[in-house]
Each structure stands twice: as C-alpha cells, then as structure tokens.
Amino acid sequence: MKHYPHPSFAKEGWSFIAISVGIAIFVLWLTNIVAALPFIIIAAFVVQFFRDPARTIPQDPNVVLSPADGKIIAIEETHDAYQNVAALKISVFMNVFNVHSNRSPVDGQVLDVQYFAGKFVNADFDKASTENERNAVIVRLASGQKITFVQVAGLIARRILCYTKPGDLLKRGERYGFIRFGSRVDVYLPVSATPLVSIGQKVKATETILAKID
C-alpha cells in the first residue's frame, strides 16, 4: 500500500531548492562551470536534503514503524517523561543526508502535543533527548495503548515543524512533520513491546518495523 499525498520534494524545501538552483544557474550563465561548481554542489545538496520519496506501508496493526530515516542509536528501557510511565525507547538519528520528513509510526488518535524549547547539542548524544529543543506527540492506539514519538533538534537543526494537533487521527505512514538539517526521533513504547531492530541498523521511515506491540 502506498500513502503519499505530497510531491517528491518536501514543501518545506521548495523555496530553498528554487533559490539554490536559481543562483547556480545564474552564476553559470555569468561565468563558467569552474566558477559555478561550488554553487552547483550546494544546489545538489539542497535538492537531495529535501527529497521526500513515497514509501510502502506495512499494515500489521501490531507493529510500530520507524517515523524517520536514519540509524538506530538507542534501544533501552527508560522513563517516558511525557506520559510519566516506564517505557521502551527506540531512537533514530538522522544525518544531513537522510530524508527528513517525519511520518506517523502507527494508526491512532493524537491525545497531546508538547513543545519544549531547549539546546542544540549533537542529536547523537543521549542528553539530546532531554536537553534539546523537542516536540512530543502522544497517540492512543485502537487497543487503548499509548505511544510517544518525539522530534528532537540537533546541532545544526534549528527548526522543528509539526503539523498535527490533539484530536487528529493519524494513519501509519502519514507525514506529520519535518526537521531541518540533522536531528533524531525518539519513540517511547510500552515496556512489553518487542524491538525488531538493533543498534547501528539503518532504517527507513514507514518501511522499517521498529517493534511489535502485544
């Protein structure tokens, strides 16, 4: 099943793409390929950063999908401060070469959205989960279970965008947010959940299954 109501490039990047490509073309027109090469490289980076490809969506209602592209950097039992419960946390780190659109990992109703101002330390550090700027979304599944997924800003990331609000119904694979230029997403699951990924594993938003919930 495909779920993709957006163009192949994220709308958050349309202006960046237009400006960078326009400058590269203008410099090339005024000068030559050698002088324009740095601007062409910058334009190519901007275009690849804002790519937003369609993804195939697993439909098993008992699995939790990755909300982001990147690498698994944490799988641990911890405390979900947003719900104030014990939880299994799985963290996905996104570098500047990953797709940065964030997609809902489950089907469910949004109960709460919590934004916290904070620092911009390297998102690969554990303390980024509690000290950096972040935006948490709490969703209730049809089973009544609740999960939290948190967009966390990074060293370079300076803008978290979240388009959902309490009361919304999210569908797995649905695009709900975007983080610009390197960051992470933390997913807090019930402690009974079974992780299906490992540390260091590369994952794709929507297509990779993070865990199974009983």
Catalytic residue among 8, 183, 192, 198: 183
Structural domain boundaries in the chain: 11-49, 63-212
36-53: pLDDT as tens digits: 898 889 888 888 777 888
Q: How far is CA 173 from CA 54, 56, 90, 148, 204, in A?
A: 10, 8, 18, 16, 11
**Residue 48 DSSP symbol:** H
pTM here is 0.82
State how far the Cα of 23 lies from the Cα of 36, in Å rounded to an integer: 9
Q: Has 91 been annotated as catalytic?
A: no
SS3 call for 124: coil
The CATH number of 63-212 is: 2.70.70.10
Q: Which residues pair with residue 194 across a beta bridge?
A: 212
What pLDDT, on the 0 to 100 scale, is given for residue 3? Answer: 42
Per residue of the chain (214 residues), what is the pLDDT tens digit?
A: 334 455 677 777 677 888 888 998 988 888 888 888 988 898 888 887 778 888 888 888 899 999 999 999 999 999 999 999 999 999 999 887 888 788 999 999 999 999 888 666 555 557 667 667 889 999 999 999 999 999 988 666 557 888 899 999 999 988 898 887 668 899 999 999 999 999 999 999 899 999 999 8
| pLDDT at residue 31, rounded to an integer | 87
Distance, in Å, from the CA atom of 43 to the CA atom of 66, rounded to the nearest integer, reads: 28
Q: What is the pLDDT of residue 4?
A: 46
Length of the chain: 214
Q: Which tokens hold the place of 172?
A: 């797995």
